[in-house]
A and B are shown apart, each in its own frame.
Chain A
């Protein structure tokens, strides 16, 4: 009898371990979906706090500008340098280096690579701010004042992120391209005119790239706000919320990139 119970407990324990992770994932996704749905509802139906969106646009956009410029400048240099080195082994002709690099930047790299550092800066900031408000009961105090935390805190960040992420990622593409062009000129002696060739970029590439900018701009605040809102405990909880906001935002970017790229491949095959 004891053996049976022990074996049943063992099986149950194993089942709990195996089933627990997917259930937790489903629960997380449902939570994020709920935050997104309520945010969209309040974007359409909610009342705007005067200046809140502009304030968040400044925090998300302007304050990320220097960081994004430096990061994407270096990434642009590295990408072109490495691509040039590899190309050298196959065809020592750099005529297509610029056009191909520009196509990749527009279609994918500027948005997907640029969104990662943005997710760390913006995502961590949103999760830490909202998480701190949770553990200091400010979210409860907001609810007591009839201010829905989604409407009051998440909506301004969501709208600001949509606009500023798109703007920053377009800027990131520009910076990475210029940095790459200078690198190609200095290292591989590709002249600027040859490098700056947009003939391979098609409208579909621009549309896919812009879709990614908008999708990442929506995903970062939603994932981060969700992580902030479910903060539990004290400063340790805020630390965990911040970490999970960065990790989950980056994951969301990668997963979204996969689906948008796949859909883009079928609609606008290269």
Chain B
């Protein structure tokens, strides 16, 4: 398995967020992590790239334990494993092209002009080249998301983590983002881990789904297996019912 979480524990103060998560992600699949808000989905994927350190447990990326690497050693991990943040998280003070060029300048040490040329090409791939000199504040949510995806893909990563990529997007832009993720996984073979609670995305493009509940993995399976699940927690989530066993 290229990505494995083994007995992952994480607490924030008195609150246990991850309480022994075991999970494997296969090569080239579009893997969704679902669950209610605050259940620890984003926390889980941030561990993979060293943005958070676990209290216990281990994380294997291509067989290498990454949770104890130094910040500098993690740069190599982050080169291979990119992340698209929940709110796009573009740098306010930079234009779109500067945002996309930054990983090229820092990871690959390209000159400003070389990085800008490559960044423009990447922006063109997501149909954003005409907004290259615009600042993030001048763009809509969907456009910002596309720039964020261009930035994440600029180093040709083997793995991409998406943190709620369709949140705050209108349905049309949300499906466009889904399409990009789907193409990444199924046409380019890039392994994608998508944190989401957007049911249309989940049942539209996921190869497999893991549901987090009370700090642990409740269930892992294909979309069809989840639909057929008799687990009342899973059923409550996928039916979007307010009443059920799931604690608020």
Which residue of A is nearest B79, CB measured? A146
Q: Give the CA-CA distance A145 to B155 in the complex, in Å.
A: 10
Q: Which of B70-113 contact A (CB under 8 A)?
A: 71, 74-75, 78-79, 82-83, 85-87, 89-92, 102-103, 106-107, 112
Q: Is B51 an interface residue, CB under 8 A from the partner? A: yes
> Are A50 and B112 in contact (CB-based, < 8 A)?
yes
> Are A143 and B78 in contact (CB-based, < 8 A)?
yes
Which residue of A is nearest B86, CB measured? A137
> Are B103 and A138 in contact (CB-based, < 8 A)?
no
Q: Is B195 an interface residue, CB under 8 A from the partner? A: no
> Are B103 and A144 in contact (CB-based, < 8 A)?
yes
Which residue of B is nearest A132, CB measured? B92
On chain B, the residues within 8 Å of A137 by CB distance are: 85-87, 89
> Are B102 and A140 in contact (CB-based, < 8 A)?
no
> Are A145 and B103 in contact (CB-based, < 8 A)?
yes
Q: Give the CA-CA distance A142 to B107 in the complex, in Å.
A: 11
Q: Give the CA-CA distance A137 to B91 in the complex, in Å.
A: 10
A140-B46, A141-B85 are contacts. A146–B91 as well, Cβ < 8 Å?
A: no
On chain A, the residues within 8 Å of B3 by CB distance are: none
Which residue of A is nearest B101, CB measured? A145
Q: Which of A115-149 contact B (CB under 8 A)?
A: 136-138, 140-148
> Are B85 and A146 in contact (CB-based, < 8 A)?
no
> Are A147 and B106 in contact (CB-based, < 8 A)?
yes
Q: Is B49 an interface residue, CB under 8 A from the partner? A: yes
On chain B, the residues within 8 Å of A142 by CB distance are: 91
> Are B82 and A144 in contact (CB-based, < 8 A)?
yes
Q: Which of A157-198 contact B (CB under 8 A)?
A: none
Q: Give the CA-CA distance A216 to B89 in the complex, in Å.
A: 33
B103: contacting residue among A50, A136, A146, A148, CB under 8 A = A146
B87: contacting residue among A136, A144, A145, CB under 8 A = A136
Q: Give the CA-CA distance A144 to B90 in the complex, in Å.
A: 12
- Give A47-73 as 1s and 0s: 1 = Cβ < 8 Å from B's Cβ atoms: 000100000000000000000000000
Which residue of A is nearest B76, CB measured? A146
On chain B, the residues within 8 Å of A138 by CB distance are: 89, 91-92
A141: contacting residue among B50, B74, B79, B89, CB under 8 A = B89
On chain A, the residues within 8 Å of B107 by CB distance are: 145-146
On chain A, the residues within 8 Å of B92 by CB distance are: 138
Q: Give the CA-CA distance A141 to B136 in the complex, in Å.
A: 14
Q: Give the CA-CA distance A146 to B74 in the complex, in Å.
A: 9
Q: Give the CA-CA distance A235 to B90 in the complex, in Å.
A: 18
> Are A145 and B102 in contact (CB-based, < 8 A)?
yes
A146: contacting residue among B51, B78, B151, CB under 8 A = B78
Which residue of B is nearest A143, CB measured? B51
Min distance, Cβ B102 to any Cβ of chain A, angstroms? 5
Min distance, Cβ A238 to any Cβ of chain B, angstroms? 14
On chain A, the residues within 8 Å of B50 by CB distance are: 143
On chain B, the residues within 8 Å of A144 by CB distance are: 49, 51, 78, 82-83, 103
On chain B, the residues within 8 Å of A140 by CB distance are: 46, 51, 83, 85, 89
On chain A, the residues within 8 Å of B112 by CB distance are: 50
> Are B75 and A146 in contact (CB-based, < 8 A)?
yes
Q: Give the CA-CA distance A50 to B85 in the complex, in Å.
A: 27
B71: contacting residue among A136, A141, A148, CB under 8 A = A148
Q: Which of B95-148 contact A (CB under 8 A)?
A: 102-103, 106-107, 112
Task: From B87, B91, B112, name the one whose CB has the most chain A CB atoms within 10 angstroms.
Answer: B91
A50-B112, A138-B91 are contacts. A143–B71 as well, Cβ < 8 Å?
A: yes
Min distance, Cβ B156 to any Cβ of chain A, angstroms? 15
- Give B32-67 as 1s and 0s: 1 = Cβ < 8 Å from A's Cβ atoms: 000000000000001001110000000000000000
A-B contact sample (13 more), CB < 8 A, given A137-B87, A137-B89, A145-B78: A50-B112, A140-B46, A141-B91, A142-B91, A143-B50, A143-B71, A144-B51, A144-B78, A144-B103, A145-B151, A146-B79, A146-B106, A147-B106
Show the binding face of A for B, using Cβ within 8 Å: 50, 136-138, 140-148
Pairs A-B, 3 closest by C-beta atoms: A146-B106, A145-B103, A146-B75
